[in-house]
Chains A and B, each alone.
Chain A
């Protein structure tokens, strides 16, 4: 069990560019979650998957954000036409199923949009 891994750890991009982040959950964890966290705030829910099905996407998420989990294993989060307001830490978490007692978090991807 290697834990939840996220790649890259840091990403610096220019406004208007597209970026993609990857998350590898703990193997056999059915649920995968994406959160966004800005400095001094709590993690804000973005979206989550049950296996390969995306069950919910936050209404706060613009159409520039898309997430996939094609084979029910790893997941990608893409942000198109990045804006400075997208600068944040993007956290991925997983757990075994709906009633799993806790989330297992990755170390996050820190995005800076210049």
Chain B
């Protein structure tokens, strides 16, 4: 069964606007962590933001925020004030205690930022 689902293969956003990338996950483990990574065309995986399952507040890192809705099992990434350099693949990922704390990834969303 799919553990991480990213339903948007591609997204377009105008420069300086905000964009939301969707992610839903499936777990029965009460202890888990959710991540977003960015992969530019150069290929390196860049960590963006982390949310623990017990965290009460949504995580924020600069222009990135994670909209965590635990009951809905969603962990959407919000990028504010998009920049041309934000054009990349974005992956949602999850780490579970029952999975031995290994991290599994979704299929990704390709974001295109238009000037």
Interface residues of A (CB under 8 A from B): 31, 33, 35, 40-45, 48, 55-56, 89, 91, 93, 98-99, 101-105, 107-108
Instruction: Sort chain B's interface into a size bin.
Output: 20 to 34
- Report the minimal beta-carbon distance from A22 to chain B, rounded to whole angstroms: 18
Given contacts A43-B45, A43-B91, A107-B43, contact A48 B102 (CB under 8 A): yes
Main secondary structure of the interface of A (DSSP, over half): strand
- Ranked nearest first, the 9 interchain pairs of A and B with the lowest CB-CB distance are A42-B105, A98-B101, A105-B45, A102-B47, A43-B105, A42-B108, A42-B107, A101-B50, A42-B91
Given contacts A41-B107, A41-B108, A42-B108, contact A99 B101 (CB under 8 A): yes
- Report the minimal beta-carbon distance from A34 to chain B, rounded to whole angstroms: 11
Give chain B residues whose Cβ lies under 8 Å from the Cβ of A89.
43
**Which residues in chain B, 4-38, are within 8 Å of chain A measured between CB atoms?**
4, 33, 35, 37
- Among the interface residues A44, A91, A93, A102, which one has the most CB atoms of the partner chain B within 10 A? A102
Give chain A residues whose Cβ lies under 8 Å from the Cβ of B47.
102-104
Give chain A residues whose Cβ lies under 8 Å from the Cβ of B33.
101
Q: In the complex, which residue of chain A has the Cβ closest to the Cβ of B105?
A: A42
| B103 near A33: Cβ-Cβ < 8 Å | yes
| B44 near A105: Cβ-Cβ < 8 Å | yes
Given contacts A42-B91, A43-B45, contact A102 B50 (CB under 8 A): yes
